[in-house]
Structure 1
Amino acid sequence: MMGRTVLVTGGSSGIGRAVAARFAADGADVVITGRRVDTVAPAAEALGVRGLACDATSPGQVAALAGELGGSLDVLVNAAGGLPAAPAAGTPPLEALAQEWLSSVSGNVLTAVLTTTAVRDRLAPGGAVISVGSIGAERRGGSYGAAKAALAAWNVSLAAALGPQDVTCNVISSGYVAGTGFFGDGMTEERHRALVEETLLKRPGTPDDIAQTILFLASPGARHITGQTIHVNGGAFTTR
Structure 2
Amino acid sequence: MLSFQNLTLGYDRHPAVHHLSATIETGDFVALVGPNGAGKSTLMKAILGHIEPMEGRIELGDLNRDDIAYLPQASRVDRSFPLTVFQFAASGLWQTRGLIQRVNRADRQRVTDALSRVGLHGFEHRTLDALSGGQFQRLLFARKLVQNGRLLLLDEPFSGVDEQTTEDLMAVLQAQHRQGATIVAVIHNINLVRRYFPTSLLLSRELIAFGKTDEVLTTHHLNRASTIGFGDHVHADICQVSES
* TM, length-normalised to structure 2: 0.34
| Structure ranking higher on relative contact order (CA contacts 8 Å, 6+ apart) | 2
Structure with greater helix percent: 1
Structure with greater strand percent: 2
Name the larger-Rg structure: 2
